Chain A
Amino acid sequence: MKKGSFLATAIIVLSSWSLAYAQDAEEIIRQMDLNMRGEESIQEMEMTIVRPTWDRTIAMKSWSKGQDYSMILITEPAKERGQAFLKRDKEMWNWLPSIDRMIKIPPSMMMQSWMGSDFTNDDLVRESSIVKDFTHHLEGEETIRGHEAYRIRLDPKPDAAVVWGKILIWVGKEDLLELKAEFYDEDGYLVNTMQLSDIREMGGRKLPTHWEMIPADEEGKKTVLQLISADFTVDIEESFFSQQNLKRLR
């Protein structure tokens, strides 16, 4: 018994040591990105736009495979129900079943806020990659809501199509999960803070299930993303992400 727990402690100590020193900041972010996202997944979530005097909720279901393929189906509110989005590589389409119309979304629309929330289309389909489009520096270690965490600075690569001037990400040491992120504009001002909490086992994976995006200097405003269900064990073929299937999602 004693021997076992000693061994466990040793493994944790060794692995955290190796993470801190043998792995560089890029490796931590890469691992975190894998942990947060999963290679393939089906998820159901609810997004609530919270303002001091009102709130609005949007519910959706998403399918994704790696960075390049994803589909989102809006399930609430009723007015938007059935609308769906397909992303393949750099291209994105919007299916409007009520008028039988497939609209190709131009790149400028990707950066638009997602149905008036504090998230952009890009945040949801992740056009830009926190691994490939940035250089990474380990700046230090801090405690976030009781979890020990690495603080890593991300600077966009010169040719990357990224809207941010800088991103700070806090990665939990224990599980290598994202706990907090700060997004800065090109002039160095804080724009949004993301808080990720309620770490739980869901769909074969441990991850934060409650995300809050809080705009800087705007009292009482935030957008909350709540994960309702998730399955990371699914095997989705690339061929699933087709215009034909986009019309059949439900």
Chain B
Amino acid sequence: MNAKKLKWHTSFLGVLILLLAFTQSKAQNDRSWEIGGYVKYLQTVTSLSPDSSELYIDNLVHNRLNFNWYPGKNWKVHAGMRNRLFYGDFVKILPGYADLIAEDMGYFDLTFNWFEGDAYFLNTTFDRLYVDYTTGKWQVKVGRQRVNWGQNLVWNPNDVFNAFSYFDFDYEERPGTDAVRIQYYPSFTSKAEFVYQLGETLEESSFMGLYRFNKWEYDIQLLGGYALDDIVAGLGWSGHIGGAGFRGEATYFSIPANEEGESRDEQVVASISGDYTFKNSLYLHASAIYNSKGDTENIQFNYLGQQLSLSAKTLTPSRMELFYQMAYQISPLFYGSASMIYNPFDASFFMAPSLSVSMMDNLELYLIAQIFSGGDRSQYGGFSNLYFWRMRWSF
């Protein structure tokens, strides 16, 4: 299948050169071009077991370039390029790690490794590459883009195109989808859209519609269609109760149970959340997710697999999970947060305390730990803790 995908690697070199050339033009405030991005360095420290003092160190140097070109009043061309240099212990010990990262999950193959060694490799991927045309109330977007239908902030059952993993905190932009997307805005606060996700076969394609409107100070959305061989219908909302935010999403999937699609299976994934910000900036957030296909015992959790091939149907392997978060702006420079995901069936949990520090106007230090705890055969039991520190320079 990979061989059939379009190989655009050589043209990427051209785009890269273009991007670098136009880095200069930003300073001159040329209105038809924009470029921005960041360079990040992330170090991961893993202790495989609490008894062992052996630590595994991994490093990621990560450059992102966001590029906008406005060829005319109604036109926009956007490219989002991700260049990542991986090196460290896991690159060495995980078989096929470099190949896994070089795999492009989309219709077009816009991902490749420049070089690979025993303990390092350099990867480039375009997770955005689209043309956007607006005329009147219509907007047409063609290419690799993020179609984000989520309403909640942690689990998004409505996000049928680009489900994201809460554990993958370093990928803020989240993946894109190769699609043709037509949006129509009937009023100032409503929209209707149709998305065709490109696939080589019908089973690998999606045809979905969404209508979002604003009523009673709520954003309410209805969605439905055919997605990757499933028949899908969903509902989502964002509103408030008093001062607190109140959001929810539910998606129903009708899944072919056998190869011929003769009998069908059903699945419902739903999430709900509330958050409140106090006057002193203390932020509290709670959420729950339900998965009708989830397990209540012997729950299998795969940290890396969860991040690499996630869908709205696999947001959680458990029947239910609960999320809590507390965050506080300690000072304009320091932002602290602690979040927790708890499995009520086996009482195992995941915890992530974090601190972000503004070092200079465009330089940020971020510290985060991912702590897993639980008994044998529990969702988060027996998993090693991860500790990260990251520097980010944005431009």
Contacts and interface: CB of A to CB of B under 8 A. Distances in A.
A239 B172 CA distance: 32
Interface in B330-371: 331-333, 335, 358, 361-362, 364
A77 interface: yes
A243 B189 contact: yes
Given A106-B243, A111-B277, A243 B172 contact: no
Interface stretch (A10-18, A94-102, A173-181, A192-200): A94-102
B394 A79 contact: yes
Contacts of B244: 106, 108
A79 B173 CA distance: 12
Interface residues of A, number: 41
A242 B185 CA distance: 9
Interface stretch (B145-153, B261-269, B305-313, B317-325): B145-153
Nearest to B183: A244
Contacts of A115: 332
A82 B36 CA distance: 10
A137 interface: no
Given A56-B358, A106-B243, A242-B188, A113 B173 contact: no
Contacts of A106: 240, 243-246, 275-277
A57 B70 CA distance: 27
A117 B189 contact: no
B223 to A, nearest CB: 15
A241 B188 CA distance: 7
A117 B238 CA distance: 27
Interface in A108-129: 108-109, 111-113, 115-117
B217 A91 contact: yes
B214 interface: yes
Contacts of A54: 333
A188 interface: no
A244 B191 contact: yes
B79 to A, nearest CB: 13
B38 A107 contact: no
B45 to A, nearest CB: 25
Contact of B364 (A51, A79, A103, A108): A79
Interface string A20-57: 00000000000000000000000000000101001011
A163 B191 contact: no
A78 B189 contact: no
Contacts, number: 107
Interface string B169-189: 000111000000000010111
A90 interface: yes
B329 A113 contact: yes
Given A108-B278, A243-B185, A90 B245 contact: no
A244 B332 contact: no
Given A51-B332, A56-B332, A77 B361 contact: yes
Contact of A242 (B145, B148, B189, B278): B189
Contacts of A132: none
Interface in B204-235: 214, 217, 219
Contacts of B240: 106-108
A108 B36 CA distance: 32
B239 interface: yes
Contact of A100 (B66, B148, B276): B148
A116 B331 contact: yes
A116 B328 CA distance: 11
Contacts of B70: 250
Nearest to B392: A79
Interface string B237-275: 011101111100000000000000000000000000001
B188 A98 contact: no
Interface in B60-80: 66, 70
A117 B185 contact: no
A78 B148 contact: no
B123 to A, nearest CB: 20
B38 A91 contact: no
A108 B395 contact: no
B139 interface: yes
Contacts of B150: 101
B219 A104 contact: yes
A99 B239 CA distance: 20
Contacts of B243: 106-108
Contacts of A51: 332
A111 B281 CA distance: 8
A248 B141 CA distance: 13
Nearest to A117: B332
B332 A99 contact: no
B189 A57 contact: no
B134 interface: yes
Contacts of B377: none
Given A116-B329, A243-B185, A77 B362 contact: yes
A210 interface: no
Those 7 A-B pairs whose CB atoms lie nearest each other, nearest first: A116-B332, A106-B245, A108-B243, A78-B394, A242-B188, A104-B238, A100-B146
25 contacts: A56-B332, A79-B38, A79-B394, A82-B36, A90-B217, A99-B146, A99-B173, A101-B148, A102-B219, A104-B219, A105-B245, A106-B244, A107-B243, A108-B278, A111-B277, A112-B277, A113-B329, A116-B329, A116-B333, A117-B332, A238-B188, A242-B185, A242-B187, A242-B188, A250-B34
Interface of B: 34, 36, 38, 66, 70, 134, 137, 139, 145-148, 150, 172-174, 185, 187-191, 214, 217, 219, 238-240, 242-246, 275-279, 281, 329, 331-333, 335, 358, 361-362, 364, 392, 394-395
